[in-house]
Structure 1
């Protein structure tokens, strides 16, 4: 097994020092190969060493300006630092250079979300959802974005899909409760809010909504 693959395995097993050693050796053996720098950049990002991570990703881009995963790595560093506009640029470069994976579309969508551009977020979260139909987080965020864009029927479909993936998803139940209120189905809404609270007793939004629905039903 080559050193980069070994390094990635060590990183996944949280053996960061061993991963760093292997990536360093890989870079020393192939200093003109961008992949070693990208992997080291990813490792440094995991370790919250953002300043050095940026240097490694930039070095990879110097060696290959079409290194899509280097732009993706840079985007992640900027996202972690809540520099959403700058992160957005890097994720765009990654996609323009041929990276068409769920994660990059998801992260790009989330940068728009954090800036409250929910209409701009939607197509990227849709693409991520298409590419990763089994990813609970991606599906949920896509459903949430649909709700923010007022697409209530679509929201219902996606949140039900989230519950198929994870029955005990309190936030999906809460959002289905909100959908039911929009559809003027108070009893159904109450069931979902109750279920959300069974799963997560400290779910403040569900508790508040449940109280309001119960009050309305008793009047």
Structure 2
């Protein structure tokens, strides 16, 4: 990693950071590190087309193009091209990160069973990863399995609390412990009020279903 470029990017000096990495790539066009770091900067700046174009060009230059596949798959995923993303991920080893990304793709096409299978395997490989735990909670919630979902959001609250985790934990508790659910919503609001309101508005119908006992508590 180019630390100077990273520091500049984190300080908001994006153009300077990109310029440094472009120089690095020009000097060492067969090394993957520069392409990977620059593609991450482009993704964070929501310049997905540029990230994809960069990585596709790099694939013709570097010694091992597969080293670029994960970043390329992530860029395709964020762009909404899920088939291309999955095709690349299927060519990579089943690391926790790759399995998580596969689970995300299947979750987004509402193939929850496949998403669950990949998510559970990712969790086995990295059981403390809150990103994986959040996805597992989302999956179980989408399937209407509140008890299973609750377990994951509770884990996140215990280690790395977020407004989303508190809000969804509250949703899971809504029918069995209304007051505790309200406490969770209050905690979520303290952390991020706009995010909490957004989730509660989005899941208003789910809360009604929970309250009426139509989902598995």
Report the TM-score, using the length of structure 1 for normalisation: 0.73
**Cα distance in 1, alignment partners of residues 117 and 12 from structure 2:** 34
- Structure scoring higher RCO (CA < 8 A, sep ≥ 6) equals 2
Mind listing any 5+ residue stretches in structure 1 that lack a counterpart?
Answer: 178-185, 215-219
Q: Residue 20 of structure 1: CA displacement?
A: 1.2
Q: 1:156 to 1:15 in 2, by over 3 A?
A: same
Q: 1:70 to 1:17 in 2, by over 3 A?
A: same
Instruction: Quote the residue 2:192 is aligned against.
Output: none
Match of residue 110, structure 2, among 113, 116, 133: 116
Instruction: Quote the residue 1:89 is aligned against.
Output: 87
Q: 1:193 to 1:151 in 2, by over 3 A?
A: closer
Q: 1:99 to 1:67 in 2, by over 3 A?
A: farther
Q: Residue 101 of structure 1: CA displacement?
A: 4.3
Mind listing any 5+ residue stretches in structure 2 that lack a counterpart?
Answer: 190-195, 213-217
Instruction: Quote the residue 2:34 is aligned against.
Output: 36
Q: Residue 11 of structure 1: CA displacement?
A: 2.7
Instruction: Quote the residue 2:58 is aligned against.
Output: 60
Match of residue 100, structure 1, among 80, 91, 95: 95
Runs of 4+ off more than 6 Å: none
Give the number of aligned pairs. Answer: 200
CA-based RMSD of the aligned residues comes to: 3.3
> Is the radius of gyration larger for structure 1 or structure 2?
1
Q: Residue 99 of structure 1: CA displacement?
A: 7.0
Report the TM-score, using the length of structure 2 for normalisation: 0.73
1:39 aligns to what SS in structure 2? helix
Match of residue 178, structure 2, among 167, 177, 190: 190
